[in-house]
Chains A and B, each alone.
Chain A
């Protein structure tokens, strides 16, 4: 009989994965080193942009409107230091079939599964991606199972996640709900093994390639409407796929001067695998609890090599606080007549602050919105926080402590995106890579690989490697 203990299943992970994705990742590895050929992986296993545009159009995905947030821009100008602020545009991704940009990722993953002859798809996600996969599977006539981390040990569930379970079921998917812990991966592997379905991972090359259309579209829309490229695009950042795919699309559109900014909600101090802290956060995605670990080590996902590699594309990385995102969510409803988010409005909060550093004739694009519904809305999320003993008050958001309070800015001028030190994050990525190298020297190709991974100049990388305590040859001192 097959051994289904935790250890036994985890030790079979590679063979289960191989069957469930149909990609031989070995092909892209540079044997005996930490390097792999990222671009070759994206080219060989992804789809070309025109193909993706066509397959997404087939399933009603993409071509979402881009809208100028005139009143929010006006607000930014009224409160900024010199009464200047860039035009704030928002790409209304909520108008995709499942209500978020994740439909783009799901469309390519489900298309691929169908092409390969899989009978169904499985995805591990508590977020919008589940609904997206379920929606696309419904269109393609594939079966769908969504596995989500939903409840703490007292059976108290995040309202936002319960809403997503409802939405997945509405599209005909089976939803398996779990308590808090990384063993979700174990349940996920067992489901793949039992069903023989496709692993619709968020991190496959086709998943990420599916987001490239988003970056490409927004550049084309800006050119059409304003006759210029966006100066800055802000992406809510968790696992890194949103930013990676969007940035690749921007590059493919030829917008070489556009700056790409990642934004995450600051949840510093909360442990993501903690049962007792699970319901003390008001954001289940888009936060630093995913953003930082996935940036500093992308290959921690459900595929051998993640196609989401945000450090290759990020020009700047900022955080905003929960209270600031809730505040901007309310501003979006009250000033622009749009109920969206809240989690997807992380980039809006960041953009509102960054726009105030820019000139009036510049353009900043918030590249996504997400649908709003029962449970998944500023009011139930704040009231859930209050029920869980989180203090909600007006004040200076700088004083917010995740898990203790949520501070809504007393005045919009108090809303400030905080810069993270990108060099520090890159250094931490390099440290994680060097740990895998161990005692030996850096081999041919590894230095170049790290340069690409971190977008560092040769001298900068050499200096960083030295700072970590290695010699010129990369050898541990």
Chain B
């Protein structure tokens, strides 16, 4: 149970494949057009239920409850070994250690 007033994330299908714009690439046209929004839950509800939320600007938006207190988890990614080589090479050229073309 997620209590009324909690900050949550909702998901909604805005347009079904048949309702979408014309002239879409085939792969895009066959999937629904989806939306995600965040807001304060307006009643107690379980994950997966259809709910209304009040967004930070005060709009009421309907959608399926998918996450409580959503956070960001994007990061600096995994190690890319190639990046180490670029700095070493460039510093060598600038300092005169390598001037071949």
Show the binding face of A for B, using Cβ within 8 Å.
5-6, 71, 74-75, 78-79, 120, 143-145, 150-151, 153, 159, 162-163, 165-166, 169, 172-183, 186-187, 194-195, 271, 273-276, 327, 330-331, 333-335, 374-375, 377-384, 386-387, 392-394, 408, 411-413
Contact = CB atoms under 8 A, between A and B. Distances in A.
A330 B75 CA distance: 18
A71 B79 CA distance: 26
Contact of A145 (B14, B31, B57, B87): B57
Interface string B34-48: 111110000000000
B76 A374 contact: yes
Contacts of A165: 72
* Residue from B57, B59, B89 having most chain A Cβ neighbours under 10 A: B57
Contacts, number: 161
Interface string B52-82: 0001111100000000000010111111101
Interface residues of B, number: 43
Contacts of B76: 374, 377, 379-380
A162 B86 contact: no
B27 A276 contact: yes
B56 A174 contact: yes
A377 B33 CA distance: 28
A120 B59 CA distance: 12
Nearest to A185: B21
B43 to A, nearest CB: 20
B21 A181 contact: yes
Interface of B: 14-15, 19-21, 24-25, 27-28, 31-38, 55-59, 72, 74-80, 82-83, 85-87, 89-91, 93-94, 96, 99, 101
Contacts of A331: 86, 90
A359 to B, nearest CB: 20
Nearest to B56: A174
A327 B93 CA distance: 15
B77 A384 contact: yes
- 9 shortest A-B CB distances, which residue pairs? A383-B77, A380-B77, A375-B74, A334-B87, A153-B31, A383-B78, A275-B28, A330-B86, A177-B36
A178 B31 CA distance: 13
Given A178-B14, A183-B33, A394 B56 contact: no
Contacts of A153: 31-32, 34
Contact of A144 (B25, B28, B57): B57
The residue in B28, B36, B75, B76 that gathers the most chain A C-beta atoms within 10 A of its C-beta is B28
